[in-house]
Amino acid sequence: MTAKPLFLLTDPAHYEVSYVINPWMTPGEWAQNRARHSGAARQAFVALKRAIEAAGADVRVMEGVAGLPDLVFPANAAIVLDRRALVARFSCVERQGEESVFLQEFEQLQNEGIFTEVGTFPEGVFQEGAGDCIWDKTRGQFWAGFGQRSVRASLDVIKDFFRAPVVPLELISPRFYHLDVCFLPLTGGEIVYYPPAFSDAAQETIRALVPADYLIEASDADAAAFSVNAVNIGRTIIMARPPERLKRLLEARGYQVSGIDLAPFMMSGGGAYCMTLRLDRSRDDGTSSARPCRTAAEAS
Ligand code: ARG
């Protein structure tokens, strides 16, 4: 029997929308009714945690910190693979205070034996964690976004630290500022993606590496509903309430979709995936059998 998946979440006690670093953020709307939005955020957090647990995973919750509202998005904390973590460097000053908080949490995880090594990016090499660097178990590679928050120079650091293939994908839209809001590899090998978020070259890369019948295009509505920003555990996909079309499409492929009202977090430009970080991600736990892919070498 394999161990349960383990996800890190951050308690939303200090969550608010108080600045604008992406086009979805609405501090004015938040300020109009802080108590109501905070209450709704707590409910949404509890619903997400329950859905993750119901899908068979464990959840670890870290405390929030006043003045660092976006700590509730630990997907941006680090890239994790094989019990090693590479802690993020945030490009926006508003979030840079999170680095030391996350670093402390990861050192604690190392003390507890969950991680064997915790690394950091060189100064000035911005990279915003698993939000911009997603492990694809089916293909045995990272897909890494750059061009909005994370810089291209981060890709070599990732490759060297993990000794794993890293496929670069340039992001061209400020609305889709992290890879995880427009790109979602699923356990069956499918990739859900929102083409307009990517440069032409990135779209070609995706199409060269993923067979057409494994590519699922998200619509404008799907992307705007933060449905691509989902947590996939086995055959369960947990996401902000999805448009019906996407839900049916995923169900037709044998997934169960668990839609949650994450409106308070969408006011900050985040959905389900952003609110989590998978801590037990490993490259060879033997769960992928089908190989609906070409390797980078075969495709070129
Ligand atoms: N307000 C946050 C920001 O703009 C939202 C982060 C969402 N995280 C994510 N991985 N997409 O940084």
The mean pLDDT value for 253-270 works out to 98
Ligand 1 centroid vs 272 CA: distance in angstroms? 11
Query: What is residue 20's predicted lDDT score, i.e. its pLDDT?
Result: 98
Q: Which residues are catalytic?
A: 178, 274
Sequence-distant (6+) residues with CB within 8 A of 24 are 175, 266, 267, 268, 269
Residue that the structure tokens 């109009």 belong to: 32
pLDDT at 300: 41
| Ligand 1 atom nearest residue 268's Cα | 1
State the distance from the centre of ligand 1 to the C-alpha of 286, rounded, in angstroms. Answer: 31
Across the chain, mean pLDDT equals 95
Q: Which atom of ligand 1 is nearest to the CA of 69?
A: 1
Residue 139 near residue 163, CB atoms below 8 Å: no
Is pLDDT above 60 for 1? no
Residue 196 CA to residue 295 CA, distance in Å, equals 24
Establish whether residue 21 lines the binding site of ligand 1, counting it when its CB lies within 6 angstroms of any ligand atom.
Answer: yes
Residue written as tokens 């978020």? 197
> How does strand 141-146 pair with strand 166-170?
parallel
Going from the Cα of 294 to the center of ligand 1, the distance in angstroms, rounded, reads 31
Pocket probe for ligand 1: among 72, 89, 93, 178, the residue whose CB has the most ligand atoms within 8 Å is: 178
Please tell me the predicted confidence (pLDDT) of residue 212: 97
The residue whose two tokens read 């995973």 is 57
Per-residue model confidence as pLDDT tens digits over 29-57:
999 999 999 999 999 999 999 999 999 99
**Rounded mean pLDDT, 104-124:** 97
Residues 217-244 have pLDDT tens digits of 999 999 999 999 999 999 999 999 999 9
pLDDT score for 2: 66
Task: Please give the DSSP secondary-structure letter assigned to residue 245.
Answer: H
**pLDDT-based confidence at 289, cuts 50/70/90?**
very low
- The whole-number pLDDT of residue 3 equals 86
268 pocket-lining for ligand 1 (C-beta < 6 Å): yes
pLDDT > 90? residue 175:
yes
Averaged pLDDT, 270-280: 98
Domains of the chain: 6-283 (3.75.10.10)
Q: Please give the pLDDT value at position 294.
A: 53
Substitution site in 24, 29, 48, 70 for ligand 1 pocket (most atoms within 8 Å of beta carbon): 70
Is there an atom of ligand 1 within 6 Å of 96 CB? Answer: no
Over the stretch 191-227, which tens digit does the pLDDT of each residue have? Answer: 999 999 999 999 999 999 999 999 999 999 999 999 9
Assign residue 181 a region (left: φ > 0; alpha: ψ between -120 and 50; beta: otherwise): alpha
Average of per-residue pLDDT across 272-286: 90
Average pLDDT over residues 107-127: 97
% of residues, the chain, pLDDT over 90: 93
pTM of the full structure: 0.94
Q: What is the pLDDT at residue 292?
A: 53
pLDDT of amino acid 284: 80
Q: How far is residue 59 from each of residues 39, 47, 80, 213, 235, measured CA to CA in Å?
A: 21, 12, 16, 33, 18
